[in-house]
Amino acid sequence: MKNFLFKIVLFSALLTAAISFILIGYGGNVDYFYLKFTTPKQSSFILGDSRSMQGIQPRVINEYFVDNEFDLPMFNYSFTITQAAYGPPYTQSVKNKLLSTTKNGLFILSVHPWLFAQREADNFDRNIFAEENTPPHNMRFVTMNPNFEYLFKNFHYFHFKAIIKKNSELHKDGWLEEKNLPKDTLTLNKWKKNQIDIYNGFANRWKKCSFRMEEFEKMIVFLQNHGKVVLVRMPIDQELLDIEQNFWVGFDDDIKALSTKRNVSFIDFSKNNIYQTYDGNHIDKFGGVSFTKALCDSIKKSL
């Protein structure tokens, strides 16, 4: 019996050590979100979905505002549209990740209609949110390294084959880098069509609602106690923009009204887009540098 227990303990210890080695050494390759929950509490955030997770680069912001009074470095706490939605779960996770002593943070909040839409699984009257069982909303511990809570709750997000391929990398500042994008037009057009199909599906299934907008306003008010808040609508291809505009007529007017009410800047890059996307929806890592610099220029003008 003792021998059996010893083997169980030894096996558990070796397994834990092996998993810890993978998570610490390759966590940024095997999962799009894991490293966001192994880093310390932060003072400045980029919030939103995959558009901002790929398109806004913290490194560029840190270099641009190196002599500014902002509490940096910047941290990209964006996720993908499956997880990212403005509402109480996201706000609570931001509160958990925010360094409470922050007074001069910079908070860049990406906005577009899908982040405010009511989804099929939402039931706001019963305090049920479609995103609540996904990261970051299902995470209690957001600064542990290694983070076994994330492993147990979100194991299905791990792709261990990525250790070898390394086609993408989540950096420790939360920015997701897509490394090996195809260059042939046929593949890129297929990717764009897929994005169009996805967002047409959202338009058919999701609903415009005021609840998430009201909760978003509460997030803004909270963050204003800790620094400057900036709202940004990121550039996308016209076909996707048309879907959004038809889904939520007057969305930009609603955001402008909110920004005026709460005295925050709203920077809109969605019109006359000059930034190349690789699928109609996401700026690649090269275009992301110039876009982030342009965003910083706009933020500086608003100070």
> Tens digit of pLDDT for each residue in 229-278?
999 999 999 999 999 999 999 999 999 999 999 999 999 999 878 998 99
Q: Residue 159: pLDDT band by 50, 70, 90 thresholds? A: low
Helix%, strand%, coil% for the chain, nearest 5: 50, 15, 35
Query: Which residues make beta-bridge pairs with 44?
Result: 74
Sign (positive or negative) of CA dihedral 155, 191, 296, 251:
negative
Per-residue pLDDT, 166: 61
Closest CA to 41 of 116, 100, 83: 100
Tens of pLDDT, residue by residue over 115-135, are 999 999 999 999 999 999 999
Which tens digit of pLDDT belongs to each residue from 11-46? 334 444 445 555 555 544 568 898 999 999 999 999
- What H or E segment, with its residue span, contains residue 106? strand 105-110
Residue 174, pLDDT above cutoff 50: yes
Kindly give, in sequence order, each residue whose CB lies less than 8 Å from that of residue 244, ignoring residues fewer than 6 positions away: 112, 113, 114, 199, 236, 251
| DSSP category for residue 127 | T
Average pLDDT on 136-148 reads 93
Predicted confidence at residue 9, as pLDDT, reads 43
Q: Are 274 and 255 in contact (CB under 8 A)?
A: no
Q: Among 282, 303, 285, which residue's Cα sits nearest to residue 194?
A: 282
Residue type, 53: M
Average pLDDT score over the chain: 89
Buried b (16+ CB within 10 A) or exposed e, 233-251: bbbbbeebbebbeebbeeb
Tell me the residue type at 85.
Answer: A
**pLDDT per residue over 83-116, tens digit each?**
999 999 999 999 999 999 999 999 999 999 999 9
User: Measured between alpha carbons, how far is 235 from 51 in angstroms, rounded to an integer?
Assistant: 9
Tell me the three state secondary structure of residue 21.
helix
For the domain 2-302, what is the CATH superfamily, name and number? SGNH hydrolase (3.40.50.1110)
Size (the chain), residues:
303
> How large a percentage of the chain has pLDDT more than 70?
87
β-pairing, 74-76 vs 176-178, is unpaired
**Which residues is 231 bridged to in the sheet?**
109, 266
Is the model's pLDDT at 160 over the cut of 60?
A: no
Predicted confidence (pLDDT) at residue 209 exceeds the cutoff of 60: yes
Q: What is the pTM of this model?
A: 0.90
Query: Encoding tokens for residue 179?
Result: 């490394």
